[in-house]
Copies of this chain bind each other. A is one copy, B any other.
Amino acid sequence: MEEMLVYERDEWFSRAKQAMDNKTKPLGSLGFLEEIACRLVVIQRSLKPSVEKVLVVVFAGDHGIAEEGVSLYPQEVTYQMVLNFLRGGAAVNVLARQVGAELLVADLGVKGVFSPHPALLSLKVREATRNALHENALTRTEVEEAIEEGKEVALRYGKEKDLLIAGEMGIGNTSSASLVLSALFDIPLDEMVGKGTGMEGERLEHKRKVLKEVFRRRKWERNDPLSLLEAFGGLEIAGMVGFYVGAASLGKAFVVDGFISTAAFAIASAMFPPVKEYAFLGHLSEEKGHRLVVEKLGMKPILSLGMRLGEGTGAVLSVPILRAAASLLREMASFEQAGVSKSREEGKG
* Interface residues of A, Cβ cutoff 8 Å to B: 23-33, 69, 71-74, 76-77, 80-81, 83-84, 87, 89-91, 93-95, 97-99, 196-198, 286, 302-309, 313, 317, 320-321, 323-324, 327-328, 331-333, 337-341, 343-344, 347-348
Nearest B residue (CB) for A313? B30
A-B contacts besides A76-B347, A81-B338, 16 pairs, CB < 8 Å: A24-B91, A25-B90, A26-B309, A29-B308, A30-B309, A32-B305, A73-B341, A73-B343, A74-B344, A80-B339, A84-B333, A90-B332, A95-B327, A98-B324, A302-B305, A317-B324
Cα–Cα distance between A321 and B324 once the two chains are bound (Å): 13
Query: How many copies of this chain are found per oligomer?
Result: 2
Taking the closest CB of chain B, its distance from the CB of A263, in whole angstroms, is: 18
**Contacting A26 at CB < 8 Å: which of B69, B308, B340?**
B308
A80 to B328, Cβ gap below 8 A?
A: no
Cα–Cα distance between A317 and B302 once the two chains are bound (Å): 12
Nearest B residue (CB) for A94? B331
**Contacting A343 at CB < 8 Å: which of B72, B80, B83, B97?**
B72
Asked, given contacts A338-B84, A341-B76, A348-B74, whether A332 binds B94 with beta carbons under 8 Å apart, the answer is yes
A344 to B83, Cβ gap below 8 A?
A: no
Nearest B residue (CB) for A320? B320
Cα–Cα distance between A90 and B90 once the two chains are bound (Å): 37
Asked, given contacts A24-B81, A344-B71, whether A337 binds B197 with beta carbons under 8 Å apart, the answer is no
